[in-house]
Amino acid sequence: MGARPGPPPDFGDDETRHPAVDAAVQSLANAATLAPADQIAQYEAAYETLRETLATIDQT
């Protein structure tokens, strides 16, 4: 029987070990304290960062 997937490696509570992703996740956490109208820019910036990061992974 082949290897079964297990839990992801333990990177700590909020660390992905990728600085851009960590920053995007932190910006989402920070956005929770903002007024809803102000959250939109934070969500859009995080989305763009994550999209660009995933695109670079696809290119390797």
pLDDT in tens, 8-43: 555 556 566 889 999 999 999 999 999 999 999 999
In this prediction, residue 53 carries a pLDDT of: 92
Q: Return the residue matching tokens 């989402």.
A: 28
In this prediction, residue 18 carries a pLDDT of: 86
Backbone angles phi, psi at 14, to 5 degrees: -130, 20
* Cα–Cα distance for residue pair 52/48, rounded to 1 Å: 6
More confident residue, 34 or 58: 34
In this prediction, residue 38 carries a pLDDT of: 93
More confident residue, 55 or 15: 55
| CB-side neighbour CA atoms (13 Å) of 15 | 5
